Amino acid sequence: MLTLFRNRKSLFFVTVLTTTLLLAACGDNGNDETAEEDEPTRWDEIQDEGVIKVATSGTLYPTSFYSDETDELTGFEVEVTREVAERLGIEADFTDMGFDGMLTSIQSGQVDIAVNDIDVNERREEDFLFTDPYKFSYGAMIVRPDDYSGIESLEDLDGKRHGGAATTIYMEIAEEYGAEGVTYENVTNDTYLRDIENGRLDVVMNDYYLQSLAIEALPDIDVIIHPDLFYHPNNQAMIMNQDNVELQENLNEVIQEMLEDGTIQELSEQFFGGQDVSQEPDIDFADE
C-alpha cells in the first residue's frame, strides 16, 4: 500500500508540473505576440525621424538630374517624391547611386524607396512592393540616322551592340533578341549618344520620353530615335522593400491625390516638354 501511495503522489506532482509548464508556455507566446504587435514598423520610424530615404541616379534626364543653373538635384520623379513627402509631413533625403545598387540598398535597409524610371513588372513584384504607377510610357531606340543602325525590327537586334545598365528591362529585351550587351555604370546621356554616333554602340533601348528629351538636349550628337519601332508599353512607380506595406499604403494615398488634383500632370508637362506622361499612350507597338 505504501508503494501505491507513493506512485499516486508522484503522478500528482508530475501532473501539476506539466500543467504549470503548459500555462507558462502559453503565457510566453502571448507576450511574444504582443511584443511583435508593439514593434514599430518602418513607417512609424520614418514618421519619428521625419525623413524618408530615397535612392536615385541623378544622371537620368529629365526624371533625375542636376540642374546646370542651380547644381541642385531635380527632375520629374525627384519633384514628385518631394511633393509626396511634403504632403506626408516628412522630408525626402536623396542618395545618388547606379541602378544596380538601388535594389540592393532597398533590401539592406540603406534606403526606403528608389525612384529612377523603374518599370513595374511581375519579376520585380515577387521581391519588392511598388506604389501605384504615375508614369506610363513605352520603349524606343536611339540609332544612327543614315541606316537606323541596320535595325528595322526587334529581330534585327541579333548581333548588334546595345548599351545600358546591366539589370534594366531594356538590357534584358535587347539580349533576348541576341544583342550584345555593353554595360555602363552610372553615366550621363551624352556618353551613350556619342558611343552610338562613333560606332562603339549600335543602339540604346530605353524609355521613349527620356530618349526624346535627351536627343533634344544634345543636338550636336548625330543620332535619332528610330521612327518606326516602338515596343514594351510599361509604367513606372516607386519601389520599396516587400515588408513596407504601411509605407506603400501611405504613399499610394498621396499619389492618388496628386493624380486627381493635376499635380503630377503639371510636373510632367514641366519636365517632359508639355507632354502628359500620367496618361497611357495610344501607340501601335511591335510584337515582342
Give tens-digit pLDDT for 171-197: 999 999 999 999 998 888 999 999 999
For residue 108, pLDDT beyond 60: yes
pLDDT band at 107 (very low <50, low <70, confident <90, very high): very high
For residue 8, pLDDT beyond 70: no
pLDDT of residue 99: 87
* Cα–Cα distance measured from residue 157 to residue 155, given in angstroms and rounded to the nearest whole number: 5
Mean pLDDT over each residue of the chain, to the nearest integer: 89
| Phi, psi for 39 (deg, rounded to 5) | -65, 130
- What average pLDDT score do residues 210-231 get? 95
Give the chain's domains with CATH numbers: 42-134+237-271 (3.40.190.10), 137-233 (3.40.190.10)
- What average pLDDT score do residues 59-72 get? 94
pLDDT of residue 5: 36
pLDDT band at 288 (very low <50, low <70, confident <90, very high): confident
pLDDT of residue 3: 41
For residue 269, pLDDT beyond 80: yes
For residue 16, pLDDT beyond 60: no
Q: Return the C-alpha cell found at 229.
A: 519601332
In DSSP terms, 207 is beta-bridged to 139
pLDDT band at 17 (very low <50, low <70, confident <90, very high): very low
CB 146 within 8 A of CB 186: no
pLDDT of residue 11: 42
For residue 22, pLDDT beyond 80: no
For residue 140, pLDDT beyond 50: yes
pLDDT of residue 38: 73
For residue 111, pLDDT beyond 80: yes
pLDDT of residue 258: 98
- What average pLDDT score do residues 30-57 get? 82
Residue 239, CB half-sphere, CA atoms under 13 Å: how many? Answer: 26
pLDDT of residue 106: 98
pLDDT band at 32 (very low <50, low <70, confident <90, very high): low
